[in-house]
């Protein structure tokens, strides 16, 4: 990888990931695992979201005491926003390299992330809508703390699926995500269920419906 913002090429062989082509006429789901997860386990979501979809599932490249993540944080919910921005750029370079290697042509790539994976997916779409313009965010939140680094994101559509009582993705932060994304033109659908951090069956069902309408 060269270039702090991810502008350079990525060596796909050096970046652990899963790729499965799926049906040619289906989108490719870019699955993004949560803290301590990995690129294999998160792919189990795909058949529940879009049977037949392709799968592109990279491993987060940040490490927190042995746990795989997508970007650094100073504490729970306290993000290193500069690192978020750099890592989002790296993910863009990964997607570009994978698009070329796997000959994805103009197949749509839709991100589906959980928790920390939702946060990097949202950050990447809001910073790089030309690479990623659809995100399913399970238990995600606003990834830029008190900053607003967004440009025009009118091409972006997000679906946010959250628990009403989630200390790791507090409602106030999800409110801010909705407000900032919409202010810059994004289309945002939000589903709130009872409960906390996690991935409920109702989240998956709502996400599948949202995807089917896309
Ligand atoms: C994050 O760090 O992205 C969120 O706090 C959720 C998580 O613990 O991964």
How far, in Å, is the centroid of ligand 1 from the Cα of 80? 12
User: pLDDT exceeding 70 applies to what percent of the chain?
Assistant: 96
Q: Furthest-apart CA pair in the chain: how many Å?
A: 44
Q: Which of 115, 128, 139, 203 is catalytic?
A: 115
Could you tell me if residue 57 is left (phi over 0), alpha (psi between -120 and 50 degrees) or otherwise beta?
A: beta
Our answer to whether residue 205 is catalytic in this structure is no
Q: What is the DSSP letter of 23?
A: -
What is the rounded average pLDDT of the residues 161-173? 98
What domains can be seen in the chain, in order of their start residue? 12-212 (3.40.50.1820)
Ligand 1, atom 4: closest residue by C-alpha: 116
Q: Is 68 a pocket residue for ligand 1 (Cβ < 6 Å)?
A: no
Q: Which residue has the tokens 């801010």?
A: 176
Q: How confident is the model at residue 187 (pLDDT cuts 50, 70, 90)?
A: very high
Relative to beta strand 54-58, strand 62-64 is unpaired
Q: Do residues 143 and 188 touch, judged by C-beta distance below 8 A?
A: no
What pLDDT was estimated at residue 103? 97
pLDDT (tens digit per residue) in 17-51: 999 999 999 999 999 999 999 999 999 999 999 99
206, pLDDT greater than 80: yes
What is the rounded average pLDDT of the residues 140-151? 98
What pLDDT was estimated at residue 3? 35
What is the rounded average pLDDT of the residues 62-68? 96
What is the rounded average pLDDT of the residues 85-106? 97
Our answer to whether residue 197 is catalytic in this structure is yes
Cα–Cα distance for residue pair 27/24, rounded to 1 Å:
8
Q: Is 103 a pocket residue for ligand 1 (Cβ < 6 Å)?
A: no
CA angle, 60 then 58 then 162, to 5°: 70
2, pLDDT greater than 60: no
What pLDDT was estimated at residue 214? 86
What pLDDT was estimated at residue 8? 66
DSSP alpha helices (H): ranges in 138-200?
171-183
CB atoms within 10 A of CB 54: 23
Q: Is 77 a pocket residue for ligand 1 (Cβ < 6 Å)?
A: yes
Report residue 77 CA to chain centroid gap: 16
What pLDDT was estimated at residue 133? 98
What is the rounded average pLDDT of the residues 142-162? 98
Best mutation site among 115, 139, 174 for ligand 1 pocket (most ligand atoms within 8 Å of CB): 115
How far, in Å, is the centroid of ligand 1 from the Cα of 102? 30
pLDDT (tens digit per residue) in 6-18: 446 899 999 999 9
What pLDDT was estimated at residue 70? 98
154, pLDDT greater than 70: yes
What pLDDT was estimated at residue 156? 98
Q: How confident is the model at residue 61 (pLDDT cuts 50, 70, 90)?
A: very high
Q: Is 73 a pocket residue for ligand 1 (Cβ < 6 Å)?
A: yes
How far, in Å, is the centroid of ligand 1 from the Cα of 25? 33
**Mean pLDDT estimate for the chain:** 95
Question: What ligand 1 atom has the least distance to the C-alpha of 69?
Answer: 9
């Amino acid at each position: 990888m060269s270039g702090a913002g991810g502008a350079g090429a990525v060596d796909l062989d050096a970046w652990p990931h899963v790729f499965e082509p799926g049906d040619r006429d289906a989108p490719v789901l870019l699955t993004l695992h949560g803290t301590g997860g990995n690129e294999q386990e998160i792919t189990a979501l795909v058949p529940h979201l879009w049977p037949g979809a392709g799968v592109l599932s990279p491993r987060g490249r940040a490490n927190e005491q042995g746990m795989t993540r997508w970007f650094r944080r100073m504490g729970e919910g306290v993000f290193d926003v500069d690192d978020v921005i750099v890592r989002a750029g790296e993910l863009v370079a990964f997607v570009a390299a994978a698009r070329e290697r796997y000959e994805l042509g103009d197949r749509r790539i839709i991100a589906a992330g959980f928790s920390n994976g939702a946060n990097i997916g949202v950050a990447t779409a809001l910073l790089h809508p030309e690479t990623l313009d659809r995100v399913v965010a399970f238990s995600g939140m606003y990834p830029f703390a008190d900053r607003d680094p967004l440009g025009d994101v009118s091409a972006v559509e997000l679906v946010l699926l959250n628990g009403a009582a989630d200390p790791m993705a507090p409602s106030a932060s999800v409110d801010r995500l909705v407000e900032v994304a919409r202010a810059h033109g994004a289309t945002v659908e939000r589903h709130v269920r009872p409960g906390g951090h996690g991935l409920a069956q109702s989240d998956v069902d709502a996400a599948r419906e949202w995807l089917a309408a896309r």
